Amino acid sequence: MKKILFSILAVLTIGVSSAQIVPKPKSESYQGGEFVITDKCALVYDAQVRDAAMYLLEYLPFKQILSSPKIMDGDIQIALNRLMDEEEYNLIVDKKNIRIIGGSYAGVFNGVQTLLQLLPPKVYSKNCKFPIAIPCCTIEDNPKFSYRGFMLDVARTWIPTDKVKRYIDLMAYLKLNKLHFHLTDDEGWRIEIKSHPELAKVGGFRGGDSPVFPRYGKFYEKWGGYYTQQELKEIVSYAEQRNIEVIPEIDMPGHSKALGAIKKDILCNYTPSGNRTNGLEIRNVWCAAKESNYALIEDIIREMSGIFTSDYIHIGGDEVNMAQWCRCPDCQRLKKEKGLENENQIEDYFIARTTEILTKYGKKPAVWNEAIEGGLLPKNTRVHGWASIKKCLASTSKGYPTIIMPGHYFYFDMKQSASEPGHNWAAIFDAKKVLSFDFTKQGFTAEHLKNVAGIEASFFSEIYIAHNPEKSDYLDYMLFPRLTALSEVAWSHTRRSWDEFYTALKNIHYARMDAMGVTYRLETPKVTYTNGAITASTTDNSTIYYTDTRTGKSARYSKPIATSTPWAFEFESRKGTGISKKTGSKEYYALQKPQVTVTSSIPCSEKTPMTNAAKYSNSIVRTTRAAKAGDWIEYRFAEPVTCREIEVMTGHIHLRRCNLLKGYIEVSYDGKTFVHTADFDVAGAIIKPTAAVKAVKITATSNSDAEDQLVIQSLKIK
């Protein structure tokens, strides 16, 4: 009995806090008192919302389930009130009953999610036992935006059906209601098309004997997967029960390298030289002039329309390499015949033809913001503004319904701090910046806001493939708690301050994510080195651990560590299922920057000269062709360098692209004789010199990856 009372009091202590519900509801009040759910309570539901009742039953093991408009004392009721807005709900808890009343299935489901947040965090493990006490309260709520989305890229990195369903669940907990499903891109085709089975059976895999070349990772194996139409229908049904609309994307006319590798006849009518790519085909744009292409598009859209219940199909339109149309005599003839002014209007023509097909099958087009630059697309085209705030403002100014998702706020593949993995082309940001997004401060007027259709976050998965996606928690780490902050921006009429939001995360929502099994990102420990000792601290009540990188031994941090070698220690924090990035003191990151001359057998671009690799910065060298076996890069120091280690890398600094795949590294201690020191692969190599180094040389033993250039970086010398 004492245990039960303690549990009830604990729930009440949390329940009276307005920080308990994420995203923040429109109105909530707590009256005092409680309702206790026991195994004698009945779950009573309107027949039209049976699926929401069955969903709640997954978390609360009610023994009595009734479809009835009547409610008795002790019941939990789920009901409709058609006078309310679609996603509006009221949750009323008094000493006799719990009632969830929504304007539609969507509103009822939103109320169910709020009810779950009033329960102990353990409920999310689906192992919560009765009795459970809930504080008496009244919550009246509806969303700020009807479109609250998340885009998941499964084309660059394959994500199996069960994992997709898991992320649908995680979205549902946060009242996000649109899954933008990025199914095709240069690196893969993930949707079964029965009239063209080769698209998925071949294009769903890359590397090995596949004509689709490996990119970004897993270079030495055939790897990938695709969704059957039955699996996609299951995903759609699973999402609909959770109030989530699945909006599929087939990215075209650009981003179609995988498709072009399978069906070369979709490409433009010219033959590239292949001199820069070691003979590999890297074109990725549909020819706009071929009637056969529109017949193929119709086959694809016809079958997609039978799978996806959304009114929309996203048809891409971004980053089209229009130089391919410029070189195509057929596209140039089309341009002249149709009176098109430029290649942007060729894209308009392509999208207009595709839109006609969509309309035939009862669907509407969604596109990326570049697609409206030709000026010819109809105003009912939904635009996803990804490139910048400026592009979002331009789209809304022109009258297009626009999904706001600028990369420097809502691209969750971006780094969360300078030393963490991720992209950095848009910005480096954490959940605090996501929560700070403000339409007024970004220049949106009342007229702009009339055309804001919603908000969306995205995760493009180029980097994910290099993080062992079958086993790693990288995707969780990149999304949470940023996706939690996004939900508040998209839902809440009045947003919490960062301090209030962060308090809710630390004190309540992290425990929920523990129960969900989410590997969320914790605050990075603050590490300093003064007076011969390293000190580490955090403010999120996490436990700090440290590792001596020389021995690999780890231990719990409890007090300052006295040492004369601060560079050897790295720190991380843990709390529940959450983890922080590994970090150290400034000495841990300190690099030597000796004067060096870099030369190579591969010519470099005039815009990115070889001197860039001598700057020890983010400056890179781009060569004028891909590497071949026998090519080399040499770093020669002005004076011999004494160091602990040298990290040697090629390719972009933040992802594995334009890499040397295989080779070996030699070191010269006298400037004349070179000694084989390490083998080199796409991940690079770290060498530990035995004396002062005069030169370092990389020699390729294979061609570089399927690109038209190699990227050369500076050395990292510690």
Checking if the pLDDT of 13 tops 60, the result is: no
CATH class of the domain whose range is 2-141: alpha beta
pLDDT for 154 beyond 90: yes
The residue that leads in pLDDT, 18 or 679, is 679
CA atoms 644, 648, 653, 654: torsion sign = negative
**Residue where the block lists tokens 């301050």:** 497
pLDDT computed for residue 590 by the predictor: 95
Inter-CA distances, 95 with 98, 135, 612, Å: 8, 9, 71
> What percent of the chain stands above pLDDT 90?
93
What is the pLDDT at residue 273? Answer: 87
What is the per-residue pLDDT for 6?
38
Nearest to 449 by CA among 371, 382, 397, 391: 397
Separation CA 41–CA 331 (nearest Å): 69
pLDDT of residue 683: 85
Please provide residue 446's backbone torsions phi and psi, each rounded to the nearest 5 degrees: -60, -35
Residue type, position 571, single letter: F
Distance CA 648, CA 600 (A): 15
DSSP labels, 478-491: HHTTHHHHHHHHHH
Mean pLDDT of 100-118: 98
Count of CB atoms within 10 A of residue 245's CB? 19
The secondary structure of 302-348, three-state, reads HHHHCCCCCCEEEEECCCCCCHHHHCCHHHHHHHHHCCCCCHHHHHH
Pairing of strands 693-700, 632-641: antiparallel
Tens-place pLDDT, residues 572-610: 999 999 999 999 999 999 999 999 999 999 999 999 999
Residue 90 tokens, joined: 């009221």
Residue 2, pLDDT > 70, answer no
For 147-516, the fitting CATH number among 3.40.50.1970, 3.20.20.80, 1.10.10.10, 3.40.50.80 is 3.20.20.80
Q: How far apart are CA 516 and CA 121, in angstroms?
A: 9
DSSP state of 460: -
Q: How confident is the model at residue 19 (pLDDT cuts 50, 70, 90)?
A: low
Q: What percentage of the chain carries pLDDT values higher than 70?
A: 97
Where do we find the tokens 């706001």?
Answer: 404
User: How much is the mean pLDDT over the chain?
Assistant: 95
Estimate to the nearest angstrom the gap between the alpha carbon of 393 and the chain centroid.
23
CA–CA separation, 94 vs 35, rounded Å?
6
Q: Specify the DSSP element, H or E, that contains 106.
A: helix 105-117
Q: What is the pTM of this model?
A: 0.95
CB 156 within 8 A of CB 464: yes
Residue 17: the pLDDT is 53
For residues 574 and 545, is the Cβ–Cβ distance under 8 A?
Answer: yes
Domain at 526-589: CATH code: 2.60.40
SS3 for 360? helix
When pLDDT is cut at 50, 70 and 90, the band that residue 70 belongs to is confident
Please state, in angstroms and rounded to a whole number, the distance separating the CA atoms of residues 240 and 106.
Answer: 9
**C-alpha separations of 633 from 435, 593, 650 in Å:** 45, 18, 10
Whether the pLDDT of residue 369 is over 60: the answer is yes
Phi first, then psi: give them for residue 61, nearest 5 degrees.
-80, 65
Q: Which secondary structure element, helix H or strand E, spans residue 133, and what is its range?
A: strand 132-141
Q: In the predicted model, what is the mean pLDDT of residues 196-208?
A: 97
Instruction: Dump pLDDT digits (tens) for 24-57.
Output: 999 999 998 999 999 999 999 999 999 999 999 9
Whole-number Å distance between alpha carbons of 97 and 83: 22
DSSP H helices, 361-405, are 389-397
Quote the CA–CA distance of 615 and 702 in Å, as a whole number: 27
Long-range contacts of 269-275 (CB under 8 A, 24+ apart): 269/328, 269/329, 269/330, 270/327, 270/328, 270/329, 275/625
Indicate the angle between helix axes 229-241 and 50-57, nearest 10 degrees.
90
Kindly report, residue by residue over 381-428, the tens digit of the pLDDT.
999 999 999 999 999 999 999 999 999 999 999 999 998 999 999 999
For residue 527, report the phi and psi dihedrals to the nearest 5 degrees: -120, 130
pLDDT reported for residue 114: 98
Assigned token pair, 26: 């429109």
Query: How many angstroms separate the Cα of 80 from the Cα of each of 97, 173, 175?
Result: 16, 21, 18
Angle between helices 161-173 and 229-241 (to 10 degrees): 20
Number of other residues whose CB lies within 10 A of the CB of residue 45: 26
Q: If DSSP codes are grouped into helix, strand and coil, which group holds residue 684?
A: strand
Write down the domain spans for the chain.
Answer: 2-141, 147-516, 526-589, 596-717
Q: How many helices (H) and strands (E) does the chain have?
A: 20, 36
pLDDT score recorded for residue 366: 98
Count Cβ atoms within 10 A of the Cβ of residue 265 and give its class: 0-12 exposed, 13-18 middle, 19 or more buried.
exposed
CATH number (2.60.120.260, 2.30.42.10, 3.20.10.10, 3.30.499.10) of 596-717 reads 2.60.120.260
- Please report the pLDDT score of residue 10 as a whole number: 39
